[in-house]
Amino acid sequence: MPIKLGPNAYGKNAVNLSRIIRHAGHHEFRQVSVSVQLTGDFDAAHTLGDNSLILPTDTQKNTVYALAKEHFTGTIEAFGLVLARHFVSRNAQVSKARIEILEHLWQRMSFEGQAHPHAFTGGGSEKRRAVVELHADGTTTVWAGIKGLMLLKTTDSGFAGYPKDEYTVLPETTDRILATECEAEWEYTAADLNFEELYQQVHLSLLRTFSTHKSLSVQHTLYAIGEKILEETDEVKEISLIMPNKHHIPFNLEPFGQANTNEVFVATDAPFGYITGTVVRG
Amino acid sequence: MPIKLGPNAYGKNAVNLSRIIRHAGHHEFRQVSVSVQLTGDFDAAHTLGDNSLILPTDTQKNTVYALAKEHFTGTIEAFGLVLARHFVSRNAQVSKARIEILEHLWQRMSFEGQAHPHAFTGGGSEKRRAVVELHADGTTTVWAGIKGLMLLKTTDSGFAGYPKDEYTVLPETTDRILATECEAEWEYTAADLNFEELYQQVHLSLLRTFSTHKSLSVQHTLYAIGEKILEETDEVKEISLIMPNKHHIPFNLEPFGQANTNEVFVATDAPFGYITGTVVRG
Amino acid sequence: MPIKLGPNAYGKNAVNLSRIIRHAGHHEFRQVSVSVQLTGDFDAAHTLGDNSLILPTDTQKNTVYALAKEHFTGTIEAFGLVLARHFVSRNAQVSKARIEILEHLWQRMSFEGQAHPHAFTGGGSEKRRAVVELHADGTTTVWAGIKGLMLLKTTDSGFAGYPKDEYTVLPETTDRILATECEAEWEYTAADLNFEELYQQVHLSLLRTFSTHKSLSVQHTLYAIGEKILEETDEVKEISLIMPNKHHIPFNLEPFGQANTNEVFVATDAPFGYITGTVVRG
Amino acid sequence: MPIKLGPNAYGKNAVNLSRIIRHAGHHEFRQVSVSVQLTGDFDAAHTLGDNSLILPTDTQKNTVYALAKEHFTGTIEAFGLVLARHFVSRNAQVSKARIEILEHLWQRMSFEGQAHPHAFTGGGSEKRRAVVELHADGTTTVWAGIKGLMLLKTTDSGFAGYPKDEYTVLPETTDRILATECEAEWEYTAADLNFEELYQQVHLSLLRTFSTHKSLSVQHTLYAIGEKILEETDEVKEISLIMPNKHHIPFNLEPFGQANTNEVFVATDAPFGYITGTVVRG
């Protein structure tokens, strides 16, 4: 059988862009990491070293900065659409452009209830993410997402009724800590929506369901979150959730003559349960 | 439209296992991180909180350690197959088990050409990886892979002949540093092969092609590596390569009255070119 | 000259402890990483392998969890003092115990202005830190600190008037982004203070000075912050600040026919300016 | 009491420099991260915002690259001395320059015993480090060091005979895994030594002692390593070692009806024992 090129793509990743948006009397500050990925007619580059259809990743990077001045003034979804349209419309060899933008969230400082005009704190693990895919035929898909959202509740979570075998050691429990570093990604039904408002709505719904759900397992909470978001937000076509179980394990105090009544825990990084699921309409 | 559960899976990740294999006169030492992922009939857990078909991830972890004593004595591919078969054969609700094993590579110390019987150095970024997928119907797929392999050559690499537009700044070059943190994953044609010998053969081929290829682009080298491996090793069905371009950019010494004749570089982490491709038979 | 043991110490690091403090109607949740370091009469362990004075680090770890139930109900400074006193009072061979506690900060969720009783978000890079040192003679020192506090202002920062030499390229500026990942550590004048109130006072002062100072350099802002804290808080004996300069560099848009009027920046991780200073009374 | 500036310093960190050294027929490749730290008369910058004595960290960075072409052709110790002398001799306000250089180690590829002229693999956690301090009065100190050296032995290590108290759980053992991520730093007796040869000698001695020592504790091995290096190498004035205990804990297989005869272990990251000591002449 002959050997040939299969699926392939390339682009510039981690284009770290920050942006001051200057208003009268106050500034906005935005910081993002942009990744561009192009799919298209790149066979000759691979097989012959012919670069005549390879738009350099350095040029892609410059384009991100150059277009940021005029076009990065609103949501990352909107900026992603501008970038995708630029690369597809200018490069006939590109069959699909995928733009991923991860936004670092800065909070405006506030003193005595007064918002500061130009000072911010940052550094949270939670990021906002947008992914835009544009095909040469005009087909456009927009996903929004959240990464690194640390969630924890100290009760209303249990895990019991599971199958036992000769390797079972875990005790059943009706009251445990539930903690996760949540990642969510949802697909929108269209590319011309109010992405800011929708994001805030989904984000709030996620937090609210996590906090109020009587959780019988991570899976149970994951589905409840997804179901509620689909119920509340028609513009969300489907949502995928990743909810690793960040275990907090009761420390055994019995050898020291103490009862550990769910108060003292070992927080562990590894191993960890890894729970993923997509909730769809169907 | 009703709301329902779509694709989902769960399991225990990052089960960090180390193993001494005791021979007369010397020890082997192996260290791996195992991840188990199960797919199956888990709807009731999500929608009803019914855990009767959810094998706890804690039990999965115990199983990895318990089976390690008898079964982790050879390749990670072989151990992955044992684990996958265990989970599929014991759990009727599981339609697919996916086992991923990442191996940390330790080197035996040696003094005056004498291999030490039980002392090792470690800590390389390069890892060996195996992925096994077993379906309930017996279908089995084995992938082997390399992660974190840092490769660099100081010449025999160029990039020229690419399209220019108004955002082009990059100068063409016929002599640059080519550096990458290579990730490779290849699918085997069968599940009963000599995984050790094949791994060493693919690994050597990858290094050799990287070092000797007259590279006209990262894509060009990526394809050359994949093509050579498929030519040499019939047991490899296809191979995917990820070769981020770890840029080393000539530092501009002209303001200081020096010519930089390709000697002094800035090593950058971000942004980086991200080049991916699969080479297939067909 | 004979060879002998010089300064040495040991202990358990990264004891990851989480704690639910149960109140009627709501829970507090705290998560810390505790490190114990003991100094003392450990010569025989080093030179002879005699462990009779080496309290195992595993025992140190157990002690942290065992004492947490009764004693970790308030500030990390107070818990650190309890731990230090335990190790010094129980182990005659220990001349000094140093306890470092790093606290991960969780925020209680709130919906429609209503604080949730047991759900939290976390994941910020900002940590609170306490260090306690207790000598066998009873001498006690307490430091409090902040780590990972990301601060940024979009104006009121400049850098000019510096010396030039043949390697100078940097343009002078009176308007730049000032960003830092601030680390602060201050020594208290006593060990029986209201550590919670003092911490909040120092933290607020730091943010306020950063936001309002007309900065002529990172050094200038660093000193202003330290000076203000010493002025306002008599219980702070001295304060050390580390303020790496997280550069946001204007991207050169001129090749693309645009003026970059301080709007579009490259956010870089390396290299970075590293500015440190201690402000003292004296 | 008046408030004033105490100890302070500043400089550029993480100047990532790579260097091709071109020989007839083959290339050397070196990659380092350089950090410059200056101490001196910087009070006015802090208290008044007067930058007239603040050599910009951007200029420091440029200087590193500019001097690399001529002067970074041998050891990192030698390059550090060149940089320190440059900053002290050119800047009267600088009372001390401290240069730290961390070297990433690349290995030349080799095929059939034939060294390749320009292809390398890298990525090890082990780094070589040099620190040079030069005072304005000419006093010079040079330290060399190793960071990130992962060492492990599967036997010849025990831990017993330690004190017990009510928090003791750890069983005594005469046969355990000893693993550490070793950091070593030694001070040389002079600044004009053969730094390459001495480094290799110390490095080999460290590995050899680790591998052959009958270890009764981490402390016992730490001291043995330091003592041997001081015995063998007169040019080493003293050596500090950091040897965190990377625990590999036997997994309890008894619940599953198996005996774990020191074969199957859990590799843990946290918590970890942290053992430090300096071995001196005196």
D174 part of contact set with chain B, CB < 8 Å: no
Residue type, C151: L
Query: Does pLDDT of A28 surpass 90?
Result: yes
* pLDDT category of residue A271 using cuts at 50, 70 and 90: very high
Q: Which residues of C touch B269 (CB under 8 A)?
A: 269-270
Residue B31 token pair:
């260290």
Q: Which residue of D has its CA nearest to B264?
A: D19
Question: Which 8-37 residues of chain A touch chain C by CB within 8 A?
Answer: 16-22, 27, 29, 31
Would you say C38 and C9 are in contact if contact means Cβ atoms under 8 Å apart? yes
Residue B57 annotated to the active site: yes
Q: Which helix (H) or strand (E) holds A45?
A: helix A43-48
Q: Is B164 on the interface with C (CB under 8 A)?
A: no
If we measure between CA atoms, which residue out of A54, A142, A67 comes closest to residue A98?
Answer: A142
Residue A233 has pLDDT above 90, yes or no: yes
Among candidates B140, B155, B152, B160, which has minimal Cα distance to B180? B152
Q: Quick one: average pLDDT of C108-114?
A: 97
Residues B212-227 have pLDDT tens digits of 999 999 999 999 999 9
Other Cβ atoms closer than 10 A to B104: 19
Q: Within 13 A of B148's CA, how many CA atoms are on the CB side?
A: 14
Does the structure show a pLDDT above 90 at A1?
no
Q: What is d(CA D70, CA C155) in angstroms, rounded to the nearest whole number?
A: 40
Query: Chain B residues with CB inside 8 Å of C169's CB?
Result: 255
Tell me the fold of C1-138: Urate Oxidase (3.10.270)
Question: Inter-chain contact C244–D13, Cβ cutoff 8 Å?
Answer: yes
Q: What number is the average pLDDT over the span A220-230?
A: 98
- Please spell the DSSP secondary structure of C198-258, one letter per residue: HHHHHHHHHHHHHHH--BSSHHHHHHHHHHHHHHH-TTEEEEEEE--B--EEEP--GGGT-
Q: C11-43: buried (b, 16+ CB within 10 Å) or exposed (e) per residue?
A: bbbbbbbbbbeeeeeebebbbbbbbbbbbbebe
pLDDT for the residue B282: 87
Give the residue from A102, A101, A130, A99 showing the smallest Cα distance to A36: A99
How far apart CA A67 and CA A90 sit, in angstroms, is 14
B163 contacts chain A (CB < 8 A): yes
Q: Which residues of A touch C180 (CB under 8 A)?
A: none
Nearest to D63 by CA among D115, D28, D11: D11
Region D191-208: mean pLDDT is 98
Task: Tell whether residue B90 is among the known ligand binding residues.
Answer: no
- Residue C238 pLDDT more than 90? yes
The pLDDT assigned to D1 comes to: 78
CB contact A165 to D (< 8 Å): no
Instruction: Please state the rounded mean pLDDT for residues C208-230.
Output: 98
Longest dimension (CA), chain A: 75
Instruction: Kindly tell me if the per-residue pLDDT of C219 is higher than 90.
Output: yes
Cβ separation B244–A274 shorter than 8 A: no
The pLDDT score that the predictor gives to residue B1 is 78
Q: Return the residue in D256, D258, D264, D265 with the most chain A beta carbons within 10 A, the one to mutate for interface testing.
A: D256
- Condensed to tens digits (0 to 9), the pLDDT of residues D99-125 reads 999 999 999 999 999 999 999 999 999
Confidence check: pLDDT of A282 > 90: no
- For chain D, the structural domain boundaries read 10-138, 148-282
pLDDT tens, position by position, C157-184: 999 999 999 999 999 999 999 999 999 9
Judge whether C57 counts as a catalytic residue: yes
Contacts of A60 (CB under 8 A, 6+ apart): A11, A12, A15, A36, A38, A87
Q: Which two tokens stand for residue B74?
A: 């050879």
Q: pLDDT per residue over B237-247, tens digit each? A: 999 999 999 99
Q: Is B210 annotated as a binding residue?
A: no
Residues B149-192: tens digit of each pLDDT: 999 999 999 999 999 999 999 999 999 999 999 999 999 999 99
Same fold, D10-138 and D148-282: yes
A258 is in an annotated binding site: no
> For the residues C208-221, what does the mean pLDDT come to?
98
* Residue D2 scores a pLDDT above 90: yes
Shortest Cα distance, chain A CAs vs residue C280, angstroms:
26
Instruction: Please check whether residue C153 is in contact with residue C210, taking contact to mean a CB–CB distance below 8 angstroms.
Output: yes
Q: Is C12 a catalytic residue?
A: yes
Phi/psi-derived region of residue C235, left when phi > 0, alpha when psi is between -120 and 50, beta in every other case: alpha
Helix (H, G, I), strand (E, B) or coil at A190: coil
- Out of 3.40.630.10, 3.10.270.10, 3.30.360.10, 2.20.25.90, select the CATH number for domain D148-282: 3.10.270.10
Q: Does B272 touch chain A (CB under 8 A)?
A: yes
Hey, is the C-beta of A258 within 8 angstroms of any chain C C-beta? yes
User: The domain B146-282 is classified under which CATH number: 3.10.270.10, 3.40.50.300, 3.40.50.9100, 3.90.1150.10?
Assistant: 3.10.270.10
- Cα separation, B192 vs A20, in Å, equals 59
Chain A nearest CA to B135, separation (Å)? 19
- Of D239, D211, D144, nearest to C4 by C-alpha is D239
CA distance B47 to B5: 8
Mean per-residue pLDDT of chain C: 98
Task: Give the tokens for residue A263.
Answer: 């108060």
Q: Residues A160, C130: contact at Cβ < 8 Å?
A: no
- Reported confidence tier of residue B44, pLDDT bands at 50, 70, 90: very high
CA gap B19, B273 in Å, rounded: 38
- What's the residue count for chain A? 282
Average pLDDT value over all residues in chain A: 98
- Which one from D153, D247, D248, D278 is the annotated catalytic residue? D247
Give the largest Cα separation in chain B, rounded.
Answer: 75
pLDDT at site D149 = 98
Cβ(A51)–Cβ(A10) below 8 Å: no
Chain C contact present for D222, CB below 8 A: yes
Strand segments, DSSP code E, in chain C are 3-13, 15-23, 26-40, 94-104, 107-111, 114-122, 127-135, 140-153, 178-188, 236-242, 248-250, 264-267, 272-281
Question: In chain C, which residues have their Cβ closer than 8 Å to the Cβ of B167?
Answer: 256
Q: Which residue of D58, D101, D164, D174 to mutate against C (max C Cβ within 10 Å)?
A: D58
Query: B88 near B133, Cβ under 8 Å?
Result: no
Does B161 contact C at CB distance below 8 Å? no
**Alpha-carbon distances of B166 from A56, A62, B19, C164, C239, rounded to whole Å:** 12, 10, 58, 35, 51
Token pair for A26: 């106050």
The CATH homologous superfamily of the domain defined by A144-282:
Urate Oxidase; (3.10.270.10)
Query: Read out DSSP for D61-128?
Result: HHHHHHHHHHH-SS-HHHHHHHHHHHHHHH-TTEEEEEEEEEEE--EEEEETTEEEEEEEEE-BS-EE
Q: D204 Cβ partners below 8 Å, 6+ apart?
A: none
Q: Is the ipTM of this complex over 0.95?
A: yes
D178 pLDDT above the threshold of 90: yes
Q: Are B274 and B245 in contact (CB under 8 A)?
A: yes
Helices (H) and strands (E) in chain A, counts: 5, 13
Beta bridge partners of D157: D215
The fold for domain D10-138 equals: Urate Oxidase (3.10.270)
Q: Do C167 and B270 touch (CB under 8 A)?
A: no
Number of cross-chain residue pairs from A and B with Cβ atoms under 8 Å apart = 245
What pLDDT sits at residue D282? Answer: 87
Query: Which tokens in the block code for residue D92?
Result: 């009267």
Average pLDDT, chain B: 98
Task: Tell me which residue of C6, B75, B31 sits closest to D246, measured CA to CA.
Answer: B31
Q: How big is the A-D interface in CB pairs under 8 Å?
A: 11
Angstrom distances, CA of residue A118 to CA of A70, A110, A193, C79: 21, 10, 29, 38
Q: Which residues pair with C131 in a beta bridge?
A: C100, C143
Pick the CATH number of B9-138 from 3.10.270.10, 3.40.50.10420, 1.10.357.10, 3.10.20.30: 3.10.270.10
Note whether A58 contacts B170, CB cutoff 8 Å: yes
Name residues 96-155 of chain C within 8 A of A (Cβ): 106, 109, 111, 116, 118-126, 148-155
pLDDT digits (tens, 9 = 90+) for D18-50: 999 999 999 999 999 999 999 999 999 999 999
pLDDT in tens, A111-148: 999 999 999 999 999 999 999 999 999 999 999 999 99
